[in-house]
Amino acid sequence: MDEIINAFKKNKLALFSLLFILLIIASAILAPYISPYNPDKIDVNAILLPPGAAHILGTDQLGRDVLSRLIYGGRISIEVGFIAVSLSMLIGIPIGAYAGYYGGITDSVLMRFVDIMLTFPSFFLILAISAILKPSIINIMIIIGLTSWMGISRIIRAEFTQNREKDYVLAARAAGASDAYIMFFEILPNTIAPILVSATLGLAGAILIQASLAFLGIGIMPPTASWGGMLSRGKTYIMVAWWLTLFPGIAILLTVLSFNLVGEAVRNALDPRYSGKR
């Protein structure tokens, strides 16, 4: 933990990124209390108003407040990101653990399955599944989670392969500990660094995928506010209402970039190969 704190102290850009992420999360949690307007309220007297005192970031084609919809859209993005990444971890970690710990035929079978999954273009696979299932935010979370676990499984497999013959594992095995105990209570805690990095970077990817799907009109249906949906509908009015695309685009850019920078900082702090430690 001290290494992570020191890394953020040295890397001001990563520190600002962490603070921005915390701001987005706090805004998502407190959305009903800090949102200046109802994000779905239509006001025909305030259609396409530019940023001003009454509406800080302007209004959209239905007179809805852009700032309020950005706040609630962030709530959707954070929710999708955390749940999708949690699901991918629940799938990827056990598969990688069993493959790396047992090796042999178990490793070959599981890793070939991972390789097969990696041959499918993830985004197009998500599009295909989304087109079949009923559009909903729950389905989007599940689909992203089910199609994004392969990376963490390969990372965990490599870590378990390196750790399964170390002294602390041999000692636990000699003491009569079960394989499940050794895997999930001895080896897994020693792989927390790559898990944290993968989860952080996975959040950025999940948020970007969700925004892309919403931009294409898949998953998050109107009038629910989402950054990708706001961007999609705003492009129609880009010549007369630039704020409808600018602010959602900035929100997506800064959020995804912040998660990536935080992930890089954590990796540099915990992985000697990147931090320069020997």
The predicted-structure confidence for 262-276, as pLDDT tens digits, reads as follows 988 888 877 655 554
Residue 208 contacts residue 144 (beta carbons within 8 Å): no
Q: What is the mean pLDDT of residues 169-188?
A: 91
User: Which pLDDT belongs to residue 278?
Assistant: 40
Q: Cα 200 to chain center, whole Å?
A: 7
Beta bridge partners of 59: 65
d(CA 218, CA 140): 9
In a domain, 277, yes or no: no
Report helix, strand or coil for 143: helix
Pairwise pLDDT comparison (133 vs 68), residue with the higher score: 68
- For residue 83, pLDDT over 90 is answered with yes
Residue 167 pLDDT more than 60? yes
What's the CA gap between 263 and 269, in Å, rounded? Answer: 10
Instruction: Please report the pLDDT score of residue 126 as a whole number.
Output: 78
Say if residues 232 and 257 touch (Cβ distance below 8 Å).
Answer: no
Residue 123 lies in a domain: yes
Beta-bridge mates of residue 65: 59
pLDDT at 7: 73
pLDDT at 230: 93
Give how many domains the chain has, as a whole number.
Answer: 1
Among 2-6, 20-24, 135-139, 155-159, the range scoring the smallest mean pLDDT is 2-6
Residue 132's pLDDT is 78
* Least confidently predicted of 17-21, 50-54, 127-131: 127-131
Tokens of 38: 């109802």
Domain presence at residue 100 = yes
- pLDDT top residue among 108 and 134: 108
Average pLDDT over residues 137-146: 86
Confidence (pLDDT) at 272: 56
- CB atoms under 10 Å from CB of 26, counted, come to 12
User: CA-CA distance, 30 to 248, in Å (whole number)?
Assistant: 19
In the DSSP assignment, the letter for residue 185 is I
Residue 207 included in any domain = yes
Q: One-letter amino acid identity for 187?
A: I
CATH label of the domain that carries residue 137: 1.10.3720.10
Q: Is residue 47 part of a domain?
A: no
pLDDT reported for residue 11:
83
Q: What is the pLDDT of residue 128?
A: 79
Lowest mean pLDDT among 22-31, 43-52, 133-142, 207-216: 133-142
- Residue range 169-179: average pLDDT? 91
* Burial group, residue 121, by CB count within 10 angstroms (0-12, 13-18, 19+): exposed
- Please give the C-alpha separations between residue 273 and each of 56, 186, 267, in angstroms, as whole numbers: 46, 23, 9
| pLDDT of the residue at 277 | 45
What percentage of the chain exceeds 70 in pLDDT?
A: 96
Triad 7, 74, 85: Cα angle to 5°: 60
Yes or no: say if 269 and 4 are a contact pair by the CB < 8 Å rule.
Answer: yes
Range with lowest mean pLDDT among 8-22, 42-56, 134-148: 134-148
Backbone angles phi, psi at 65, to 5 degrees: -70, 125
Structure tokens at 227: 């950054």
Whole-model pTM?
Answer: 0.88
Does any domain span residue 54?
Answer: no
**Residue 46 covered by a domain:** no
Distance CA 153, CA 116 (A): 13
Task: Give how far Cα 55 sits from Cα of 36, 238, 242, 277, Å.
Answer: 9, 18, 15, 51
pLDDT score at 273: 56
Report the pLDDT averaged over residues 185-206: 89
Domain of residue 160 covers 2-34+59-272
In a domain, 88, yes or no: yes
